[in-house]
Structure 1
Amino acid sequence: MFNCGKIAIVGGGSWATAIAKIVVRHTHHIGWYMRRDDRIEDFKRLGHNPAYLMSVHFDVDEIYFSSDINKIVENYDTLVFVTPSPYLKSHLKKLKTRLHDKFVVTAIKGLISEDNLLCSEFFHQVYDVPYANIACIGGPSHAEEVALERLSYLTVGCADKVKAKAFTEILSSDFIKTKTSQDVVGIEYSSVLKNVYAIAAGICSGLKYGDNFQAVLMANAVQEMARFLSAVHPLERNVYDSVYLGDLLVTGYSNFSRNRTFGTMIGKGYSVKSAQIEMEMIAEGYFGTKCMKETNRHLHVNMPILDAVYNILYEKISPQVEIKLLTDSFR
């Protein structure tokens, strides 16, 4: 039987805060790496994250905070990484402690920019963590709803079923239902793609396309996702499971979705830069779009929605023109 041991959170955003709430409720102690000492001091004083999900209160006596990632890695057995994917490498630059014997859980819904690596591939290739010691968290799970204790369903993916099951027991509660999967690659790629499709949904919303078309867009998006997953990691999976389709739908439709909000601003005429500045939060799908486009150059999967979003964000093609071309390809 696998024991997750002492658990630490790496990251200070809204999803990190929501996961910390889930875990500490079960363990009554966590380590928590945050980059900024001023945020840590405010957290200790206020009893909540000063920047994200401020309504979620913690017993700070149950938390060991540190801005030194080495201290966290040295003292904890399971490390849950919940940082925006573009910043993961910079967080780990100061790491001198080896990760190979840790249980690494990634709740990051993005690829490692420039390398175009999945987080599991990154930890395996760069830090020699065996795939059996790497897990991912997926499923339709807005941090805001998890924090409000609204019923949510999470899937833990890991090559080692026993370890996946052990971590689901840490997450499970009366408002969190869990299951396991061995499709780590599929879960990670679908987590990236659903952000791209949510941007597409937002762009269409900003252009005043209605619910009828949004339904067609999502129907085509799940088919596009299925084609890509079958090409990049062929195995028997049900793409209509909640960890794939469910995550796509909640990200594409919900008002909590940063990626949909970002896309809506683009559809309304904002530039990428101005939308990013006004949001003040990371829309991972912006970075994910470029990574997925570059990844697909080697696979040649038919992905018209990905191509349309890429052309709008990176080639500065008019959203009106690009989406009109996309609608003509749908049936």
Structure 2
Amino acid sequence: MKNGVQIGVIGGGSWATALVKIITENNTKVHWYMRSEYAIEHIKKESHNPNYLSSVELHLDLLELTSDINEVAESSDVLIFAIPSAFLYSELEKMTVPIKEQTVFSAIKGIVPETGLIVGEHFHKKHNVPFTNIGVITGPCHAEEVALERLSYLTIACADEDKAENLANVLKNKYIRTKVSDDIIGTEYAAMLKNIYAIAAGIANGLGYGDNFQSVLMSNAIREMKRFIDRIYKMKRNINNSAYLGDLLVTGYSSFSRNRMFGTMIGKGYTVKSAMLEMKMVAEGYYATKSAQALIAKLERKSKTPIINAVHKILYEHKDPKKTFEKLTEKLD
């Protein structure tokens, strides 16, 4: 970005830590908010996040750490939010500083449960941030592979192409390739929906379905995703690009995917509560499923979404996973 532009990262989890690592690789300073005072003090002493990606050595000389979200909001021209969507609303309630003048990028792969809005829409409607100041950072890219410096790809979406290009340059390094897009709504909905499909893939895995079925499930999922997104906001987009299909595949198949893990546990007979307690992590797709189903019900012309419907029945209507998937297999091709 241009010299003097200040970047803030909001969040203390694995993806926030990965983004801080990526940004500081280019000798760029980061104002970093995390709510845990313990984590902040540990990082200052040991140069590692004690809770997430603990193998990553952080550049302390490029970090301004604080547990005051307003301090980061005031100090930053560009704010990157990397908080689980389930906690975004409560964290933003702490913010008293207006952010309508800042550029806000969402690295959140979910939907705000309290409002049922994707993150960009939430910032626009609830915090008066203009759409031209809102962007999305999407994958396919797992934080764990960033920690290992394995080659990964990011898509930066923003209506203002210059803002997207500027951030793409900040995030680009020897193991991160970047590209830009103007499909803010599509990429953000894709990032939300792929978590639901990853839960479906996990449920199938937990029930004992093999690779042959999972390939059919993912093939149907990308077509379902396209139908859903086109109903929300139709524009020229290639659903086979990495921001859509690539992100879906890595989330549906990777051993690092918490949503797939969550689905696998459900398929094996865990309740939603017991699966979440054992994982000790947030499965964004759980909340996204409820919001997606509510949105489908509101559409004048409903999209054909048998996979989302099946996951909703299992997670929220307490239907038997085995019987629900037996019915789902008849609707796939």
Same fold (TM > 0.5): yes
Which residue pairs with 1:117 in the alignment?
A: 117
Tell me if the contact between 1:192 and 1:288 (Cα under 8 Å) persists in the aligned partners. Answer: yes
Q: Which amino acid aligns with 2:156?
A: V
Which residue pairs with 1:311 in the alignment?
A: 313
Give the C-alpha shift of residue 114 in structure 1. Answer: 2.7
Q: Which amino acid aligns with 1:245?
A: L
Q: Pairwise mapping of residues 104-183 of structure 1 onto structure 2 (< 5 A)?
A: 104-183=104-183
Give the C-alpha shift of residue 3 in structure 1. Answer: 6.5
* 2:111 alignment partner, SS class: coil
TM-score normalised by L of structure 1: 0.98
> Per-residue CA shift, 1:188-211, capped at 9, x if unaligned?
000011000000000000000000
Which residue pairs with 1:239 in the alignment?
A: 239
Q: Which segment drifts farther, 109-118 or 275-284?
A: 109-118
Q: Which amino acid aligns with 2:312?
A: Y
Tell me the distance in 2 between the aligned counterparts of 1:186 and 1:143: 22
Tell me if the contact between 2:89 and 2:114 (Cα under 8 Å) persists in the aligned partners. Answer: no
Tell me if the contact between 2:138 and 2:243 (Cα under 8 Å) persists in the aligned partners. Answer: yes
Q: Pairwise mapping of residues 282-321 of structure 1 onto structure 2 (< 5 A)?
A: 282-299=282-299, 300-321=302-323
Tell me the distance in 2 between the aligned counterparts of 1:283 and 1:103: 27
Change in 2 beyond 3 A, CA 1:135/1:3? farther
Give the C-alpha shift of residue 89 in structure 1. Answer: 1.0
Tell me the distance in 2 between the aligned counterparts of 1:115 and 1:322: 29
Q: Pairwise mapping of residues 45-124 of structure 1 onto structure 2 (< 5 A)?
A: 45-124=45-124
Tell me the distance in 2 between the aligned counterparts of 1:126 and 1:211: 43
Tell me the distance in 1 between the aligned counterparts of 2:61 and 2:181: 34
> Per-residue CA shift, 1:199-255, capped at 9, x if unaligned?
000000000000000000000000100101111000010000000000000000000
* 2:112 alignment partner, SS class: coil
Tell me the distance in 1 between the aligned counterparts of 2:285 and 2:35: 23
> Per-residue CA shift, 1:8-65, capped at 9, x if unaligned?
1100000000000001111342110001211111121221101000000112232111
* 1:229 alignment partner, SS class: helix
**Pairwise CA RMSD:** 1.1
> Per-residue CA shift, 1:68-118, capped at 9, x if unaligned?
111111111111100000111111112111101111111000111131111
Tell me the distance in 2 between the aligned counterparts of 1:194 and 1:249: 8
TM-score normalised by L of structure 2: 0.97
Tell me if the contact between 1:3 and 1:166 (Cα under 8 Å) persists in the aligned partners. Answer: no
> Per-residue CA shift, 1:267-308, capped at 9, x if unaligned?
000011100000000110011110111111112211000000
Tell me the distance in 1 between the aligned counterparts of 2:318 and 2:155: 36
Q: Which segment drifts farther, 318-327 or 68-77?
A: 68-77
Which residue pairs with 2:256 in the alignment?
A: 256
* 2:26 alignment partner, SS class: helix
The gaps in structure 1 that reach 5 residues or longer are: none
Q: Which amino acid aligns with 2:316?
A: Y
Q: Which amino acid aligns with 1:200?
A: A
Tell me the distance in 2 between the aligned counterparts of 1:306 and 1:119: 20
Tell me if the contact between 1:164 and 1:180 (Cα under 8 Å) persists in the aligned partners. Answer: yes
Query: Structure 1 stretches (4+) deviating beyond 4 angstroms?
Result: 1-4
Tell me if the contact between 1:2 and 1:162 (Cα under 8 Å) persists in the aligned partners. Answer: no
Q: Which amino acid aligns with 2:331?
A: S
* 1:198 alignment partner, SS class: helix
Tell me if the contact between 1:4 and 1:166 (Cα under 8 Å) persists in the aligned partners. Answer: no
Q: Which amino acid aligns with 2:132?
A: A
Tell me if the contact between 2:25 and 2:173 (Cα under 8 Å) persists in the aligned partners. Answer: no
Tell me the distance in 2 between the aligned counterparts of 1:114 and 1:45: 37
Tell me if the contact between 2:24 and 2:59 (Cα under 8 Å) persists in the aligned partners. Answer: no
Tell me the distance in 1 between the aligned counterparts of 2:3 and 2:197: 37
Which residue pairs with 2:198 in the alignment?
A: 198
Give the C-alpha shift of residue 2 in structure 1. Answer: 6.3
Tell me the distance in 2 between the aligned counterparts of 1:163 and 1:229: 24
* 1:27 alignment partner, SS class: coil
Tell me the distance in 1 between the aligned counterparts of 2:37 and 2:204: 41
Is 1:15 equivalent to 2:23 in the alignment? no
Percent identity over the alignment is 50
Tell me if the contact between 1:81 and 1:106 (Cα under 8 Å) persists in the aligned partners. Answer: yes
Tell me the distance in 2 between the aligned counterparts of 1:85 and 1:40: 22
